[in-house]
Amino acid sequence: MKRFSKIIGTGGYLPETIRTNDDISKLVDTSDGWIFERTGIRNRHIAAADETSASMAEIAAKKAIEMAGIEAGEIDLIIVATGTPDRVYPSTACLLQQRLGIQNCVAFDIQAACSGAIFAMSIADQYIKNGAADKVLIVGSEICSRLVDWNDRGTCILFGDGAGAVLLDSSEEAGILSTHIHSDGEYENLLYCPNPQAATDKNQAEKGVITMRGNEVFKMAVNTLGRIVDETLTANNMEKTDIDWLIPHQANTRIIAATARKLKMSMDQVIVTLENQGNTSSASVLLALNEGIRSHQIQRGHVILLEAFGAGFTWGSALIKY
C-alpha cells in the first residue's frame, strides 16, 4: 500500500507584546510610512524575557495536537526548525519533547533559516512515506528579536517572533504531493548571523546579529522562487490554474506579489500575515498555514503551494492537497 503524508492539525503562537513601526521610529531614523511602503509590515510580536523557542513551540504544538484529536504520545517524530535554539544542545526538539511529556519518539532540530519549515516538511514526508514514522510534529519557532541589531534600520524593521506547528499523519490519500528543497552556500555573506563563540580570534569576533545586503537578497529571492514554482508544477504535471492557494514565506510584500504574478494568481488567493507579524523566519509559513486553515479559507481538497527562501541560501517548496 502506498503511503502519503496528510495534514491533521495546525497551531500557532504569537507573543503578547507588539512593536509597531512607530515604536521603531523612536530607535532609528525611519517612519511607519517608509517601512510599510518597502516591506508591507506595520507590527511585529516580541517575545517576553521569560519566553524561549521551546516555550513558544510548546503552545503551538499543543494547539496542533488538539486540532488533530490525538494524544501527544502517539507522535513518532518531532522536528523543530529554528535559528534561535534555547541551547546549543540538547536540541530544542528534545526540550519540546520533554514539555509535551513524550518519551518514546525521535526528536531533532534542523537549521535552514527561513526555509526551515519546508525542509522539515520534506524530511517528515520521507519518514512517513518509507514507513519509519506515522505521526510527525513539525514546529518552526523563532525569537528573531534577540538576533536583531535595533540600531540597524535595514534589518530591525523586518523581523518578529512566533511559533507555528503542523502535525502530519500517514494516509492512503495523497496529502503532500511533492517537496523540493535546495541550498547554495556561495551566497553566505549576503545574509548571515555570526556565532561569536565560534570565532577563532575572540578579539575579532563579530556581534551575533543579523547582517543582510537587502537589495541583493531581494533579487535572488524573486528569481529563485520563480524557478521553484516552475519546478514544482512540472514535477506534478500541473498548470498554474490548478493551485488554489499560495502560502509564501512572509518576508516582503513585493517578493510575495512577484511570486503571485508568476502563478497568475490574485492576491485574494495568497495567505498574507506579514503586516502584523513581520518576518518570523522558519515560523512564518506554518503560522500562515495555520491562519488559512483556522479561518476556513483553506478547505479540504484545496491544493496549496508553500514556498520559502532564506539564508544559506536555502529555498524550497511543498505542494499539498489539503
Tell me whether the omega of the peptide bond preceding residue 108 falls within 30 degrees of 0, making it cis.
Answer: no
3-state secondary structure the chain: CCCEEEEEEEEEECCCEEEEHHHHHCCCCCCHHHHHHHHCCCEEEECCCCCCHHHHHHHHHHHHHHHHCCCHHHCCEEEEECCCCCCCCCCHHHHHHHHHCCCCCEEEEECCHHHHHHHHHHHHHHHHHCCCCCEEEEEEEEEHHHCCCCCCHHHHCCECEEEEEEEEEEECCCCEEEEEEEECHHHCCCEECCCHHHCCCHHHCCCCCCEECHHHHHHHHHHHHHHHHHHHHHHCCCCHHHCCEEEECCCCHHHHHHHHHHCCCCHHHECCCHHHHCECHHHHHHHHHHHHHHCCCCCCCCEEEEEEEECCCEEEEEEEEC
Query: Cα–chain-centroid distance for residue 129?
Result: 22
Nearest-CA neighbor of 86 among 73, 98, 68, 69?
98
Please identify every residue annotated as catalytic. 114, 249, 279
Residue identified by cell 570565532 is 199
How far is the C-alpha of 135 from the C-alpha of 196, rounded, in Å? 37
Contact 14, 42 (CB under 8 A): no
Q: Taking a C-beta distance cutoff of 8 angstroms, is the pair 139, 107 a contact?
A: no
